[in-house]
Structure 1
Amino acid sequence: MRLISTINSGYTYSRTWPAKPELNAIFPENKVIFLTRKAVRYLPALAILTAGIQLKLLGTDFLGQIIAMMLLLVSMPLQGWYWLGVRANTNLPPALITWAREIREQIQKQGNVDAVPGIPKNYLDLAHLLRQAYQQLDNSVMRRWF
């Protein structure tokens, strides 16, 4: 059950993380999320296509290997969500906590103090904070940190 909750957490994290180009230089999340979404879209069709080709060329003698290859291709998005789930629950390093506090203070200066999340402890909390910062703060304020 822990595996399923980690994958579910990764899926939630991939939906929460703001996909902004300026975050690419600091965090690998944008790349992993992009590749996971592409894998969800294209790998099932690719698995069926390659299985059909292999079945036609090799015959039913290699059915076990063909099924194993299909399962590997279809499981790739799950591997991406698993990595994101582990990352979402990882504690932030002290430098990122300080940076998140600065962003939180800017949000408090600009808008509703009650809607500001607490100080982030893990990457999922940071994703919520960054999403809110991109929604409430001006782009010039956000680009100052990048």
Structure 2
Amino acid sequence: MRFSLFSTLTTGWQYSRVWPTKTELNAIFPENKVIYLTKQGARYLPVLAVLTAVAQLKLLGPDFLGQILAMMLLLVSMPLQGWYWLGVRANSALPPALINWGNEIREQIQQHSQSQGIPAAPKNYFDLARLLQLAYQQLDKTVMRRWF
């Protein structure tokens, strides 16, 4: 499947909002680390890019303006790289073991809750993120600890 850059970035940003950032998921999925680093990068890297550009401009002078701008663009684009990775990951297909695990979680949600908004069987990581988010909201901690 081919996705445009903008839709992949948007999907990655949405995926970072939906994914449950629970410590027990750290051992299985790298999403928590990527989401944390992307959020911190989006917060601090633009400021760092401006500060280092000003410092380099004072020390090196305007002769190095091209290199300074390239460095600024690199620093500012790092959160975009994180959202791109998350967007690609969100649209990738789940391995069979995770599909089975997602189906087990879905069955547990159906048994323990009366809501009708239960998602379908997960096919990609975005579907799994929605299912895990719903499971953490509706199931108690003892049921969730059984899987980890």
Band of TM-score, shorter chain: over 0.9
- 1:21 is displaced (CA, Å) by 0.4
Aligned counterparts of 1:104 and 1:113: Cα–Cα separation in 2:
12
User: CA offsets per residue over residues 64-97 of structure 1, 9 Å max, x none?
Assistant: 0000000000000000000000000000000000
User: 1-side partners of 2:37 and 2:78: how far apart?
Assistant: 10
Mapping for residues 57-96 of structure 1, pairs under 5 Å: 57-96=59-98
Q: Residue 26 of structure 1: SS of its match in structure 2? A: coil
Distance 2:37 2:97 in 1: 28
- Relative to the length of structure 1, the TM-score reads 0.98
**Residue in 2 that maps onto 1:135:** 137
Aligned residues: 146
Question: Secondary structure of the equivalent of 2:27?
Answer: coil
Partners of 1:114 and 1:135 in 2: how far apart? 14
Structure 2: gaps spanning 5 or more residues: none
CA distance in 2, matches of 1:96, 1:143: 17
Q: How far did residue 115 of structure 1 move? A: 1.4
Unaligned runs of 5+ in 1: none
Cα distance in 2 for residues equivalent to 1:92 and 1:112: 27
Equivalent residue in structure 1 for 2:103, among 101, 109, 112: 101
The superposition leaves residues 18-55 of structure 1 with CA deviations (integer Å, 9 ceiling, x where unpaired) of 00000000000000000000001000000000000100
Structure 1 residue 54 corresponds to structure 2 residue 62: no
TM-score relative to the length of structure 2: 0.97
Q: Percent identity?
A: 71
Per the TM alignment, residue 112 of structure 1 is displaced from its structure 2 partner at its CA by 2.2
Tell me the CA shift for residue 9 of structure 1.
Answer: 0.2
CA distance in 1, matches of 2:79, 2:114: 37
Tell me, in whole angstroms, the C-alpha distance in 1 between the residues paired with 2:82 and 2:17: 13
- C-alpha displacement of 1:114: 1.8
* Runs of 4 or more above 3 Å deviation: none
The counterpart of 1:124, out of the listed 120, 123, 126, is 126
